[in-house]
Amino acid sequence: MTVSFRLQNDVLINAPVGAIYDFLCNPNFRPLWREASVKIEAAADRPLTRGEKFREEWRLRRGTVVLDWIVLDDERPNSWTIRADTDIVGPIVIRYCLEPEGDATRCIHHVTNPRRPSGPSEEQVRCIEAEIMAGLASLKRHVEERLRTQAA
């Protein structure tokens, strides 16, 4: 028996949608803003499009995990969806949605494990959510700093 697990978190970034999309959807930038991400193998140094793949190495408390991601959806500049199949928690699907709010953009992070072997504990949910929020805060800092640097 499997269960479906889903979380949604967001952050407001003081940047235009296109600038966020170009940074967020280029896997080569992930180690800058995702604490667990330590190595990326991607064929291109740009936002990836539907069907393209990249490999990401995560360093976690319990060891290293290698994820083979595929881009399921690329609706520039509004959304980007990726999926990795794992032996541990089944498939992981991450969707980023970008919604303009005045001069800023709300970045919404959706993560789903549609066929998880068992539900996560409350502690696991807190850890997952804390990691996502730290990543979103780091994404915000990096994108805003990039814009300030480009403007200078």
Cβ atoms of 106 and 98 closer than 8 Å: yes
Q: Please name the fold of domain 3-151.
A: Alpha-D-Glucose-1,6-Bisphosphate; Chain A, domain 4 (3.30.530)
pLDDT digits (tens, 9 = 90+) for 67-124: 999 999 999 999 999 999 988 888 999 999 999 999 999 999 999 998 888 888 899 8
Q: What percent of the chain has pLDDT over 70?
A: 100
**Residue 1 reports pLDDT greater than 80:** no
pLDDT at residue 22 in the model: 97
pTM of the model: 0.93
Q: How confident is the model at residue 33 (pLDDT cuts 50, 70, 90)?
A: very high
pLDDT at residue 120 in the model: 85
pLDDT at residue 86 in the model: 86
Distances (CA, A) of 63 to 41, 58, 97: 19, 8, 30
